Every structure is written in structure tokens, then in C-alpha cells.
Amino acid sequence: MLGDHERARRCLEEAVDPARRTRQPRAEVAALNALARTAMIQGDYAAAKPYLADALNLASRLGDHEGAAQVLLNLADVSFRLGDAETASTSGQQSLEIAKELKDAQGIAGAHRVLGFATMIRGDLEKSAWHHQQGLEIFRTIGDRWGMATCYFNLGEVHRKMGKVAKAVAFWEKSLPIAREIGARLSVAIAHLNTGGALAQREGSESRAFKNLKIALEEALDIGAMPLILEGLVGVALLYAREGKAASGRQAPGGGHGPPLHVQRRDRGILGPADEAAPEEAGRGNAPLPPGFIPSARGRRSPSEGERESPPSPWRPGRRRCRGSRCGR
């Protein structure tokens, strides 16, 4: 059954022992890496880490550079989500170096994306923007729509943190048509929420802010992303309060109408389809969405015919899930 990640996990666990007994170590690396990816999709990052450690040790002993690069990329993702930015950076950098040796464009772009996120969380915003821009250019060249959407989204987040609101909004708006095209509804909701919150802080942009917050709420309600619903409602309430004060002619100190709109929010970013897995957890924690980026939940409505297949892997969007040592990529 498509989207039955628990069943997939059990099947992969059963595949590890035969690979060991028949002495097929590369198949074992692929199975362990795929097991880790399945656990990550379920939001169980703590469970994914031992699988990745075993896969990395085995790949290193075999001299399986491609397998090691894939495992390191997943390890960077897991470490970041578990709050270990140092290991995320180290693993991402190692994956990038191997991918460059292999001339693996997908791997290079994926490593830049992870490193962009890790450097953003550590506060090196210029470096983060550079990594995301590098990843974006490669993803665009190879036609990776997931990669493009995530890099645009994260570039928006980086520029928001830089205080460059207009640039942030421009990047989020670039991410939206792609996110809609690939069915990333959680990403759509967050991009509209971010845009609405940013515009609400600019005098004269209240109408656009309302429009974006309204769309964000509609998407969040449809997929059950409760933290985003609450944040969106707070944003709308503050805008109403500010407009009410403006209508009554009461001005805030300094001439502005009402208090500035500052909705308390976490750092957010998107690494790939796994962030769409648990929309009800969206926005909780200081990791990408959620600390648990997809089962392939696209909402509580029935999926359309074109949405029945689970989203592709973040590392090999649009390709088959498993193909030899590329399993879990």
C-alpha cells in the first residue's frame, strides 16, 4: 500500500538479514540507508541514527563512496533535526566533498541545501545564503522541482533573518507555484504565513498581509497543521486590532497605528518532502518542519488521482525509490 511506511519499514528490516547472510554488503548498506529514510519520513529521527551509523561503517569498509555520500547526507539531516548542528555541518561537508569527486550533481545540490540550513541555524547567514544559492542553481539545471522549492523557501527565511523583508517575500513567492505544483501543501501554508507576517509589519501592506494569512489558514486547516492555524489566527487578530485602532483614530506613539505586528515564531526551513509528513507538528521546535520534513500526508481530504503516490525521496526526487546502492536516496 502506497504511503504505508510502517509496513515498508518492516519489509526493509527483514531484508537486512538475508543481505548479511548472503554476503552482499552493498545491498546491506542500501537496506540500512532505506530503513533510515523510512524512519525519517515517520519523524523517528532517533531510530534512524543507528541505521545510518551501521550503514556508514559498512560503506567505509567497502570503499563504497557513493553509498557513503548518501548516508552522510541523511546523517546530516538527522543530526540537524536532533539539534546537533556540529555533526550536521561535518557530515554535510563530507558528503559534499565525496559528491564532488563523483561528479554527482544531485548529491552536490543536496549537500549545499543541508549545509545552508545548518549554517543558518548557527547564525552564519551570508554563508547560508551562498549554500542555498549554489544548491538552487544546480537543482534548476537538473530540473529538480523539490530542490528548487526548498531552496527558494530557505533563501526567504535567511533574508528574513537578515532583516531584508522585501527579498524574503520575493523568495517565498517564487517557492509558492512550485510547491503547489508538487503538492507540498505544508510548504504552501508556511510560505503564505511567513509572507503575511512579513507584510503585516510594513505600513500600507495590510491588504496583502490579510490575503496571505487567509490562504495560509485555509491550507493549514485542510491539512490539520494546528500550530500554523494558531499562529495564523494570532496574526489575523493582531491585524484586526491594529486596523481597529486606526479606524478609531487612536495612534500609537511615533505616529503609527497600533502596535507593531510581531508574532513570536520559530526559525523555519524546508529540507525536503519529509517535512510534509506530520503537518500537525508543523512549527514546533527549532528544527525544519517538523522536528518530525513526510508519511505522505497531504491533508485530511481524499487525495486526487494525481496525489495517490507518496512524494519522492528528498535526495532523488522523481526517481524510483530503490535501485541498487541508490536505495533511500
**From the DSSP assignment, how many helices (H) and strands (E) are in the chain?**
12, 0
Cα maximum dimension of the chain: 80
User: Which residues make Cβ contacts (< 8 Å) with residue 3, sequence separation at least 6?
Assistant: 295, 296, 310
What residue ranges do the domains of the chain occupy? Answer: 1-143, 179-321
Sign of the C-alpha dihedral, residues 206, 211, 216, 217? positive
**Confidence label for 160 from pLDDT (cuts 50, 70 and 90):** very high
| Interatomic CA distance for residues 78 and 268, integer angstroms | 16
CATH no. of 1-143: 1.25.40.10
pLDDT band at 83 (very low <50, low <70, confident <90, very high): confident
pLDDT of 192 > 60? The answer is yes
Say whether pLDDT at 319 is over 50. Answer: no
User: What are the tens digits of pLDDT across the range 242-289?
Assistant: 776 554 444 433 333 333 344 444 455 555 555 555 554 454 433 333
Give the chain's mean pLDDT: 75
Structural contact between residues 108 and 99, judged by C-beta atoms closer than 8 angstroms: yes
Distance CA 286, CA 289 (A): 9
Q: Between residues 181 and 28, which one has the greater pLDDT? A: 181
